[in-house]
Amino acid sequence: MDRTRVPEMDFPGLFEASPNPYLVLDRRPHIVGANRAYLAGVKRELSDIVGRWAWDAFPGDAEMVRQVISSLERVIRTKQPDTMALLRFDVPRPEAEGGGFAERYWSITRVPVLDAAGQVSAVL
């Protein structure tokens, strides 16, 4: 095998197949994508959340939202990943499952996605 040639990869397929939950935000931060593992974890459909400001789609307490926004701002400013320790972020439970909220704990690592000019175009 020629190691100098990189095989063509189906990156959207890899993203969808990953068992790790991924959410993609633009710089504002509005939701621009999520994989199946993320959608299963938050019990939502992509069409329910894409295009929405992250905290309209997933409301949280003011202190938690402040911490998450600070992390996103660091990623955009430094162009470096930022990891937050375990964070409680409950998600709405569908009415078919009794409604209310499901308690969730997340360890979140945000990674900058750079454009051709080296600027942060999205955060994974």
pTM equals: 0.85
- Residues whose CB falls within 8 Å of the CB of residue 118, separated by 6 or more in sequence, listed in order: 79
Region 90-104: mean pLDDT is: 86
CB of 19 closer than 8 Å to CB of 66? no
Q: What is the pLDDT of residues 43-74, one digit of tens each?
A: 899 999 999 999 888 887 888 888 889 999 99
Q: Give 101's strand partners.
A: 92
Three-class SS string for 90-117? CEECCHHHCCCEECCEEEEEECEEECCC
Q: What is the pLDDT of residue 3?
A: 64
Rounded distance between C-alpha atoms, residue 120 and residue 77, angstroms: 9
Domains in the chain, CATH or no CATH each: 23-123 (3.30.450.20)
